[in-house]
Structure 1
Amino acid sequence: MNRTELITALAQRSGVTQSDADSVINALGDVLVDAVGRGEDVRLPGLMTVERVERAARTGRNPRTGETLEIAASYGAKLTPGSKLKAAASGKE
């Protein structure tokens, strides 16, 4: 499902216009980015949890030259599926 299909489905299920559904998706994206950027978890019970995770510094290797290099510590985002999402993916719902 792409963004346009998601907007259409959301608009049909919620009874709002596609423009309103698009605004909600944009706002959700902004809220997720802001919260994870501050280090806060975003939890939607049964659906998913989005959190910021820290990646430790490590030693890597350049595959072309074989030279070792230090990779700095950084942050990433992690999405953990909830029970409803897991059930849907396994075909049980």
Structure 2
Amino acid sequence: MARRTASEIDPNRLAQSGSLGTLLGDARRYAGLSQQSLAHSAGVSIGSVAKIEAGRSPEPGFFLVARLAAALSTRLPGKVKQEFTDSLYRYFEAAR
């Protein structure tokens, strides 16, 4: 899969993302963060970020995802932030 830059990411795609890894990866790139800088901001390992984005962590812990989401949401503009938050909510509702 080709990597997209922030300018290539459609904010509306965040709301349509089918996987948590895709959602987090798209939001991270939209925010202009590397995996390393997101991991540092969230206080988690870069391996955790990489595994989630690659789909190798099928059920990451709620608090791990919450830390990543909090670190990302401070870097996203209003509409994109709301779509990201709504998508995360739908993801966790479906997982229950």
Same fold (TM > 0.5): no
Decide which structure has the larger Cα Rg and report it: 1
Question: Under a length normalisation based on structure 2, what TM-score does the superposition of the two structures give?
Answer: 0.23
Bigger proportion of residues as helix? 2
Tell me: higher relative CO, structure 1 or 2? Use CA pairs within 8 A at least 6 residues apart: 2
User: Comparing both structures, which one devotes a greater share of its residues to strand?
Assistant: 1
TM-score when normalising by structure 1: 0.23
